[in-house]
Amino acid sequence: MSDVEALKKEAGIAACRFVKTGMKVGLGTGSTVKHTVVELGRRMAEEGLEIVGVPTSLATEQLANKVGIPLVELSSIDGLDIVIDGADEYDPNFQLIKGGGAALLREKVVAQESAAMVVVADDRKRVSHLGAFPLPIEVTPFEHQATIRALGRLLDCRVNCRMAGDNPVVTDNGNMIADAHMGPTITNPVELESLILHVAGVVQVGLFNGMCDAVVLAGANGVETIINPHGRLN
């Protein structure tokens, strides 16, 4: 296991301390939070933890089934106690960029139905300004190139359709992902989110504003848990 992967595993496991028996838990997507899902499965099998989960992607659904976490439909329950998810970037105000795994729409639906959100990450994801990581925007397939051109004009930057080889990446919802290469220039993510969502053809944008309550961050000196002073876990 590489040093980076070891850090991801450490953070993913540490985030599980927020999960208690009886909770309804949103299960995020990505290379770090997969360790959280595996650890929750272990705790259920070995320690008697009792939870139900709502996955944010088909990949997470498959992993949760594999490790024995019972799953429910979000629409069948009255909200979630917590969601644990990864992030591609987070800034000093606990605003996030997500969507590197092309699951941003489902991730945001689950996050908005959760009483708290904990992000697991390694310290490469901590930034002073969002945007060095290309901003993911989920768009409808219908005339998606026209939508991407409109986004390029609006944002005044390069916006491209995310590709897998010769074909566009298709999300679990049957949509496509546009990546906006803005650079670390996002100083008002709330305003930017609103602007992007007004473009016809845009389904959702990977700016998660006012949602993150804590970050479990793994770095060279170990795992650090940073609580949002204005969040719901404070």
Q: List the one residue out of 47, 87, 88, 44 whose CA is nearest residue 64.
A: 44
Q: How many Å apart are CA 232 and CA 44, to the nearest integer?
A: 26
If one looks up domain 3-126+209-227 in CATH, what number appears? 3.40.50.1360
Rg (CA), the chain: 17
Does residue 1 carry a pLDDT above 80?
A: no
User: What's the mean pLDDT in 129-135?
Assistant: 98
Q: Dihedral through CA 106, CA 109, CA 113, CA 119, nearest 10?
A: 60
Q: List the one residue out of 64, 66, 34 whose CA is nearest residue 51.
A: 64
- For the entire predicted model, the pTM comes to 0.95
The full set of domain ranges for the chain reads: 3-126+209-227, 135-205
Which of these is catalytic: 10, 39, 89, 107? 107
Q: Is 61 a catalytic residue?
A: no
Q: Looking at the structure, give the CATH architecture of the domain made up of residues 135-205.
A: 2-Layer Sandwich (3.30)
* 84 close to 26: Cβ distance less than 8 angstroms: yes
Predicted confidence band at 84 (pLDDT cuts at 50, 70, 90)? very high
Does residue 6 carry a pLDDT above 90?
A: no
Predicted confidence band at 122 (pLDDT cuts at 50, 70, 90)? confident
Question: 55-59, 155-159, 218-222 — which is least confidently predicted?
Answer: 218-222
Burial of 206 (0-12, 13-18, 19+ CB in 10 A): buried
